[in-house]
Amino acid sequence: MKTLLIDDDPFALAMLARQLERLGCEAVTSCNSAQSAQALLASGFETIGLVFCDLQMPDIDGVEFVRHLARIGYRGGLVLVSGENDRILQTVRKLAQAHRIDIIAALAKPVSLEQLRQVLASNASRRASAAGAARPAYTPAELEGALAAGQFVNHYQPKVALSTGELTGVEALVRWQHPTAGLVFPDEFIATAEEHGLIDALTRVVLTAALRQGRAWHDAGLGIRLAVNVSMANLAALDFPDVVARLASEAGVALSSVVLEVTESRLMQDLRAPLDILTRLRLKRIGLSIDDFGTGHSSLAQLRDIPFDELKLDRSFVNGTSADPALRAIVEATLQMARQLGMESVAEGVEERADWDLLRALGCNVAQGYLIARPMPGDELPQWWRTWQPRRMELAGSA
Ligand code: G
Ligand code: G
Ligand code: MN
């Protein structure tokens, strides 16, 4: 695998090449402009496994070069190296990610030998796993087979009150217990299910299992709310609220204990059916949560149009918010808005104690994330609940 370096500063270029050679990197090619790099790539880039690119360059800058890499379908790793401030570096990093380029690091100049050592190790392992992961997506027929064979199972992730640490509910997250591939996560099959008319059947399976599990917990003394994910594609059949009501009644679960977390992955043209359905769900006292708030189409327009009663702040704002003033400002403003709209606020992706403490201080109602618990099979919840009690005291006691 070859390594390509691009920087208009000859000293920085020579320095980086020397460091990489010291670390045992053999085929290193240096280019003093993005133009010469593009010419080189035009004669074949399949053998290039890693590119280091400066941002500030006179003719073609780093942003344009990232765009070029995406256009030609470059599959290797990318490291951004720049003297620009961190905000700019992080923005270009996000841009590269959005282009689906495998970005290994964004480094401020000057780069240390230790940083380069880490970059090389991380790139080597990512290239190896990318080679292994090149498996075609599951087909609609495979999903239909899995539905018929009952291979979808729910895991459940606790949602707890930030003020007391009390368990208030769980979110059901579907997994496919695949006969040979093991546990398959939803990002590998939800989109296919949505595109091929299988999402209604899948949601019904998830909902039915969650309601049955909820009833069992209730009978064992754990009365909690059950959240199930629905996509906008579920909100086309006008009888959806009646289906939910019937399934809940069959399971013996009150409708006020059911929450539907709605995500919109694409823009809806015709809002008539979704608005009809969502309003009738609320009339039945079923909870409606706007999921992944702040990303994609999960936005202010939806808050204006749809009677949500819970707002789930996306984990990209939650995670690390205590250490990042920009995130903190967004979280604070969103929580205040949720309060003014009379909505419950839920922070998802809480992984660190510092973020928990800040969210608590800012008056966020509910937290969910690895700090509290990972998603788990339903029968593990009572055991988790017992181990949670002392931790709950510790997390909610002080601060
Ligand atoms: O744990 P995790 O990898 O499970 O979930 C990834 C994403 O898949 C989440 O954004 C979640 O909203 C979505 N998801 C999980 N279960 C379901 C489901 O039953 N239906 C739909 N539509 N999405 C789900
Ligand atoms: O529905 P939705 O996008 O909101 O999904 C929850 C997803 O987030 C699931 O994939 C779940 O496994 C994942 N998740 C839950 N808690 C955490 C967390 O603390 N950190 C991260 N990175 N992911 C989480
Ligand atoms: Mn969700």
Each residue of 83-107: pLDDT tens digit?
888 888 889 988 998 888 999 999 9
Mean pLDDT score of the chain: 92
Across 109-121, average pLDDT? 92
The whole-number pLDDT of residue 132 equals: 63
DSSP state of 320: T
Phi and psi of 279, rounded to 5°? -70, -40
Q: What is the DSSP string of 159-225?
A: EEETTT--EEEEEEEEEEEETTTEEEPGGGTHHHHHHTT-HHHHHHHHHHHHHHHHHHHHHTT---E
> How far, in Å, is the centroid of ligand 2 from the Cα of 249?
29
Domain extents in the chain: 2-131, 140-396
pLDDT at 108 over 60: yes
CATH T-level assignment (fold) for domain 140-396: TIM Barrel (3.20.20)
Each residue of 172-224: pLDDT tens digit?
999 999 999 999 999 999 989 998 999 999 999 999 999 999 999 999 999 99
2-131 and 140-396: same fold?
A: no
> How far, in Å, is the centroid of ligand 1 from the Cα of 229?
6
The whole-number pLDDT of residue 127 equals: 84
pLDDT at 130 over 80: no
pLDDT at 399 over 60: no
> How far, in Å, is the centroid of ligand 2 from the Cα of 154?
14
Domain 2-131 has CATH 2.60.40.10: no
Handedness of CA 97, 102, 105, 111 (dihedral sign): negative
Q: Highest mean pLDDT range out of 136-140, 270-274, 300-304, 390-394?
A: 390-394
With a 6 A CB cut-off, is 384 part of the ligand 2 pocket? Answer: no
